[in-house]
Structure 1
Amino acid sequence: MNYRHAFHAGNHADVLKHIVLLALCDALVAKPAPLFALDTHAGRGLYHLAGASAQRTGEADDGIARLIAETPRDPLLRRYLEAVSACRKQHGADAYPGSPWLLAHALRDIDRIVCCETQPEEAKVLAATLAADRRVRVQEGDGYAAMRALLPPRDGAARIGRGLVLIDPPYETQLAEFDTSLAAIREGLRRFPQGVFALWYPIKLRRTLGPFQRRAADLPAKSVLLAELLVRPDDSPLRMNGSGLLVVNAPWQFDLALKPALAALSSALAERGATSRLHWLRSPA
């Protein structure tokens, strides 16, 4: 599976991922201490849905476009739509924010952000997009290596005690990517046990994810939460029928805020026979 951001910007998976990301940011900034955020597979940070790549797939029509048309009442969904609207006021009516843009606009002046991207051209565009923001550092290179190098996070000589790591790989190695990402999270927890780690993953046949989820449940974390959205039945291995976020060390009562949002998102985007799921692989004490 070759999941390139530009071809899928604004689709149902992006909508889920970005709603969860903003909800995590808002929960974390509710406390006054500084925060570090690492985006390991950042992409270019800003997309235009009228561009050739997005138009080729048309996936945003069944994602962000449908959600805007629904005018949802759920606060997390409205929060997300307000962020998209702010992006469009700044960058044009067809703009869609990637995770680096959302992080930069959800976090505070006291927070620090590092965004990693392996593709040189994408990294160059990302650096230009966020060049005016002194809180953000863009690194061209491997995001998993950055986790080893940057955790535990520091601001100069001072250690930052709180953080969020978003892992959004392209799954070019398909199921083998789960081994890589879980190993990275395990090492990240060893270095930064209080950090919040969020791993996005695609769903074709959900039953094939059993080994990944069993290994995730064994991570040395306080809690492990799954949030999944299938927009169609998971009966075809040839297309992405949904996606999920594995949230490790989720903020307190995060599931209570996310549960109605996930139900509202499913109602807005899903086809008949689709499902959503919010499930603790390891419940908080």
Structure 2
Amino acid sequence: MNYRHAFHAGNAADVLKHVVLTAIIQRLRAKQSPFCVLDAHAGIGRYDLSADEARRTGEAEEGIAPLLAAPLAHPALTAYRDLVAAMNPQGGLRWYPGSPRIARALLRPQDRLLLVELHPDDHRALKAEFAGDPQVAVHRMDAYDALKAHLPPKERRGLVLIDPPFEAPDEFARMVAGIALAHRRFPTGVYALWYPIKERPAVWRFQEALAGTGIPKILTVEMTLHPEDTHLRLNGSGLAIVNPPWTLDDTLRDALPALHAALPHSGGGVRIDWLVPEGPPA
């Protein structure tokens, strides 16, 4: 499948990913020491939902649009929704913040953001979006090469977001190899690996390979919007989170059912499981 960001900005998969991203960075902010966020598939930073790409799919109408109108009480959901609202100071919903804009909004003066984008046009747009910002560095390179080049960060604390467009048929295998290398270089970092849920056996194989790396403390967070046997092009999405911050699993168990309820769906639900337990094996 082709998951180029501009065509899917603000859809249900983006909403899940960005709620989790916001929650992780808020946890990193709890300590005074600086942290670095490395976004390995950064896209263009923010998206115009009135542009042709977004209008062609209309996926934001089943993602961020109903969420903005829904009554939400959980802080993890309202914090994310506030970030989207801040991108639209005139009201309404024209602009949707991608992960670079969400991360930048949550940085403190001592923190840093590294953005990596290989597509030449997207890279130019990303450079322009953050031109003159001393806390943001933008690089044009392959995401998996960036894991070698930029890890460990000088801060020795931070988050790596791996969010591929899934244009390559072997993307799951590349993610597993990439996280194995990255974890060797930066074992204390938090890693969030986004994946689409289309064919469940492909997800099972990915998770089995991920567990087989020997990396400890891997949490999986998934949200589907339809029954598993519907065989739709995209039923939902998930994140595999390495070294999740303390109590993140509890926060998401409390918050995500309300997120699922606020989105159009015909079934599905939320699953939060330890792929590799946080503690030592029994």
Q: Give the TM-score range, shorter chain.
A: over 0.9
CA distance in 2, matches of 1:76, 1:96: 18
Does the 8 Å contact 1:27/1:251 carry over to 2? yes
Does the 8 Å contact 2:224/2:269 carry over to 1? yes
Q: Which runs of 5+ in 1 are unaligned?
A: 155-159
Does the 8 Å contact 1:205/1:235 carry over to 2? no
- Secondary structure of the residue aligned to 1:235 is helix
Give the aligned residue type for 1:211: R
- Secondary structure of the residue aligned to 1:89 is coil
Aligned partner of 1:284 in structure 2 is 278
1:100: how far off? 0.5
CA distance in 2, matches of 1:182, 1:100: 23
Give the aligned residue type for 1:278: I
Q: Report the TM-score when normalising by structure 2.
A: 0.95
Aligned partner of 2:35 in structure 1 is 35
1:186 pairs, out of 175, 180, 204, with 180
1:69: how far off? 1.5
Aligned partner of 1:145 in structure 2 is 145
Are 2:253 and 1:253 aligned? no
Does the 8 Å contact 2:66/2:263 carry over to 1? yes
Measured against aligned partners, the alpha-carbon deviations of 1:8-46 in whole angstroms (never above 9, x if no partner) come to: 000000000000001000001111111011100000001
CA distance in 2, matches of 1:188, 1:283: 20
1:237: how far off? 4.2
Aligned partner of 1:135 in structure 2 is 135
Does the 8 Å contact 2:46/2:97 carry over to 1? yes
Are 2:265 and 1:240 aligned? no
Change (3 A) 1:271 1:37: same
CA-based RMSD of the aligned residues comes to 1.5
CA distance in 1, matches of 2:205, 2:75: 34
Aligned partner of 2:163 in structure 1 is 168
Change (3 A) 1:92 1:63: closer
- Secondary structure of the residue aligned to 1:16 is helix
1:206: how far off? 2.1
CA distance in 2, matches of 1:282, 1:261: 22
- Secondary structure of the residue aligned to 2:96 is strand
Q: Percent identity?
A: 47
Q: How many residues align?
A: 279
1:273: how far off? 2.2
Does the 8 Å contact 1:204/1:235 carry over to 2? no
Aligned partner of 1:198 in structure 2 is 192
Measured against aligned partners, the alpha-carbon deviations of 1:211-247 in whole angstroms (never above 9, x if no partner) come to: 1111222334330000000011233445111000110
Aligned partner of 1:49 in structure 2 is 49
1:270: how far off? 4.7
Q: Report the TM-score when normalising by structure 1.
A: 0.94
Q: Which runs of 5+ in 2 are unaligned?
A: none
Aligned partner of 1:215 in structure 2 is 209
